[in-house]
């Protein structure tokens, strides 16, 4: 893809996002066909939005999630500052077609991880991490059938990023916990509850964080101090309707909640 095609694809996706509309697929002439081209479009989308990069999300961090969107591995997307809300926020569902919330383990970085030749180890990535937060992602896609467009277009579509709710930093020492076994319980308006655990996130949220650091490294991009990385849903996504509230309890790591309206 040349620069003009990348920019045209990004503008079409951004206009769809801002207008709450859907497209079948990107036109063939401006359609990314590789992960690298997908990330180029995603980068242009961020630039055209005029928004600030506040962090990163990881999509498809479980076999079920990968099967659901028709990919064979995780995808990274950008968290834009205007879409990041504090716990207790009210979010609109009127333009959201997925209508789900996903409880996630999120990390805030305490120092930079810069691009380099050799992969980062998990120990190096965790040493650069700062706080751990309970979080809710509220994803959506600009595609009518996101399960059929493939990884390159999904990456271009910001890995189905939409809204994100960040909880307060955990007060307990998260480094002493086995995050893979750590349980999470979520409730939706008293209508139903669901349970999950860290092992549903690439086997461990710390593994997912390391994956993201190395995905950015391969793209020649830094992971910056202060950026938030949300590592993927730790349970089957929570189906939502207008008027619902969601509360996810991460035990010693705290809680996060949000309300939803049309």
Q: Give tens-digit pLDDT for 162-208.
A: 999 999 999 999 999 999 999 999 999 999 999 999 999 999 999 99
Count other C-beta atoms under 10 Å from residue 64's C-beta: 12
Compute the half-sphere exposure of residue 106: CA atoms within 13 Å on the CB side of its CA: 30
pLDDT at 64: 85
Farthest-apart Cα atoms in the chain, separation: 51
CB proximity list for 218: less than 8 A, separation 6 or greater: none
pLDDT at 206: 98
| pLDDT digit string, tens, across residues 235-256 | 999 999 999 999 999 999 999 9
**34 has pLDDT over 90:** yes
Percent of the chain with pLDDT strictly greater than 70? 100
Would the pTM count as exceeding 0.85?
yes
Instruction: Measure Cα distances from 131 to 71, 230, 238 in Å.
Output: 30, 12, 25
pLDDT at 219: 96
pLDDT at 13: 98
Q: What is the mean pLDDT of residues 145-173?
A: 97
Total count of domains within the chain: 1
| pLDDT digit string, tens, across residues 51-95 | 999 999 999 998 888 888 889 899 999 999 999 999 999 999 999
Q: What is the mean pLDDT of residues 210-225?
A: 98
Cβ 174 vs Cβ 108: under 8 Å: no
Percent of the chain with pLDDT strictly greater than 90? 96
Which domain covers residue 130, as residue numbers? 3-261
Pick the closest to residue 213 from 76, 40, 19 (CA basis): 76
Compute the half-sphere exposure of residue 24: CA atoms within 13 Å on the CB side of its CA: 2
Residue 187, both tokens: 């409730």
**142 has pLDDT over 90:** yes
Bridge partners (DSSP) listed for residue 164: 84, 137
Q: What are the backbone dihedrals phi and psi of residue 161, each rounded to the nearest 5 degrees, phi first?
A: -70, 150
CATH assignment of the domain containing 111: 3.90.850.10
């Amino acid at each position: 893809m040349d620069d003009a095609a990348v920019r045209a694809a990004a503008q079409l996706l951004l206009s769809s996002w801002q207008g709450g509309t859907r497209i079948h697929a990107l036109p063939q002439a401006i359609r990314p066909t590789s992960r690298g081209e997908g990330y180029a479009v995603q980068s242009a989308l961020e630039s055209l939005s005029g928004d600030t990069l506040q962090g990163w999300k990881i999509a498809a961090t479980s076999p079920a999630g990968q099967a659901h969107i028709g990919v064979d591995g995780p995808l990274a997307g950008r968290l834009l500052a205007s879409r990041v809300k504090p716990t207790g926020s009210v979010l609109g569902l009127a333009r959201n077609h997925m209508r789900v919330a996903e409880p996630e383990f999120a990390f805030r970085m305490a120092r930079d991880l810069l691009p380099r030749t050799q992969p980062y180890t998990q120990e190096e990535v965790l040493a650069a991490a700062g706080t751990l937060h309970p979080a809710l992602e509220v994803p959506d896609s600009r595609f009518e059938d996101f399960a059929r467009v493939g990884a390159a277009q999904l990456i271009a579509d910001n890995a189905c990023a939409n809204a994100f709710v960040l909880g307060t930093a955990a007060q307990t020492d998260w480094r002493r916990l086995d995050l893979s076994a750590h349980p999470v319980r979520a409730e939706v308006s008293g209508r139903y509850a669901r349970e999950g655990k860290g092992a549903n996130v690439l086997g461990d949220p710390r593994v997912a964080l390391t994956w993201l650091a190395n995905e950015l490294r391969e793209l020649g991009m830094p992971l910056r101090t202060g950026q938030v990385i949300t590592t993927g849903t730790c349970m089957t996504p929570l189906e939502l309707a207008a008027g619902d509230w969601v509360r996810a309890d991460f035990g010693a790591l705290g809680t996060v909640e949000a309300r939803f309206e049309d």
